[in-house]
């Protein structure tokens, strides 16, 4: 798939307001989702322990500054989101340490590689992408455990996501998205834009 088959990440389309925010996001970002999956090539792109560690480092360098940026906004609790419970960078750091790597010595991705978050709606769209990735991670996890076995037993928390609670946590997050949409219809295009920009940032950063 090439860029030409995806929608422009700087635009939105479709009848805003006819769908819940969570369903609208799924529809509006479907092409970007497929593009990222194909560009990253998971799970087959990881074939050994070194590649696994490098992949985790790359994610950490992007997720850490992005999640720090999320904390600029104070509105999360109004729709039932507790950011401290959804810090993917923390799990990445634990996995890297288990592999003998030093996350604190890694430089954050440069600002130009991060999605632009001009306001809280953009950040909500960005978090949609990070939270949604926990669903696909279950498939990647099975591949990794079959391929690398006990070499990574202590370094699987990122791809494990929320474990048995992953589906429930996703449903909770979708509920928060839809709650935001009530009374904030004018902000919904910014949520979609934040998600698209985040998909593009991940695709560009993970496979520069």
Quote the tokens at residue 173.
Answer: 């997050």
Average pLDDT over residues 121-129: 98
Above 70 in pLDDT, residue 14? no
Band of residue 92 on the pLDDT scale cut at 50, 70, 90: very high
| Per-residue pLDDT, 2 | 35
Positive or negative: CA dihedral 42, 46, 49, 51: negative
pTM, two decimals, is 0.90
Distance from C-alpha of 84 to C-alpha of 145, rounded to nearest angstrom: 27
| Per-residue pLDDT, 138 | 85
What is the residue-wise DSSP string for 10-78? T---S-TTSS-HHHHHHHHTHHHHHHHHHHH-TTTT--SHHHHHHHHHHHHHHHHHHHHHHTT---GGG
Residue 31, CB half-sphere, CA atoms under 13 Å: how many?
15
Which is more confidently placed, 93 or 136?
Answer: 93
- Taking only the tens place, the pLDDT of each residue in 74-87 is 999 999 999 999 99
| Per-residue pLDDT, 16 | 44
Task: Provide φ and ψ at 141, rounded to 5°.
Answer: -60, -45
| Per-residue pLDDT, 208 | 64
Give the mean pLDDT of the chain: 91
- 162 contacts 134 by C-beta, under 8 angstroms: yes
C-alpha 69: how far from chain center: 14
Is the previous residue joined to 43 through a cis bond, with omega within 30 degrees of 0?
A: yes
Distance from C-alpha of 162 to C-alpha of 123, rounded to nearest angstrom: 21
| Per-residue pLDDT, 5 | 40
| Per-residue pLDDT, 157 | 96
Of 6-20, 102-116, 175-189, minimum mean pLDDT range = 6-20
Tell me the percentage of the chain whose pLDDT exceeds 90.
Answer: 87
Task: Decide if domain 24-206 falls under CATH 1.20.910.10.
Answer: yes
Distance from C-alpha of 186 to C-alpha of 132, rounded to nearest angstrom: 23
Tell me the percentage of the chain whose pLDDT exceeds 70.
Answer: 91
């Amino acid at each position: 798939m090439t860029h030409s088959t995806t929608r422009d990440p700087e635009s939105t389309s479709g009848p805003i307001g006819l769908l819940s925010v969570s369903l609208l996001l799924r529809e509006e970002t479907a092409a970007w989702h497929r593009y990222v999956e194909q560009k990253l090539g998971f799970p087959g792109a990881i074939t050994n322990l070194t590649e696994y560690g490098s992949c985790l480092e790359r994610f950490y360098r992007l997720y850490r500054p992005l999640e720090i940026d999320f904390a600029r906004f104070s509105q999360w609790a109004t729709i039932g989101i507790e950011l401290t419970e959804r810090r993917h960078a923390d799990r990445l750091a634990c996995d890297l340490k288990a592999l003998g790597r030093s996350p604190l010595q890694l430089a954050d991705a440069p600002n130009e590689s991060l999605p632009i978050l001009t306001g809280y709606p953009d950040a909500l769209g960005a978090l949609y992408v990070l939270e949604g990735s926990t669903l696909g991670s279950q498939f990647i996890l099975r591949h990794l455990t079959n391929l690398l076995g006990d070499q990574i037993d202590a370094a699987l928390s990122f791809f494990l996501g929320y474990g048995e609670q992953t589906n429930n946590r996703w449903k909770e997050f979708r509920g928060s998205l839809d709650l935001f949409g009530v009374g904030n219809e004018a902000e919904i295009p910014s949520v979609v834009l934040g998600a698209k920009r985040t998909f593009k940032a991940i695709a560009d950063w993970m496979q520069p």
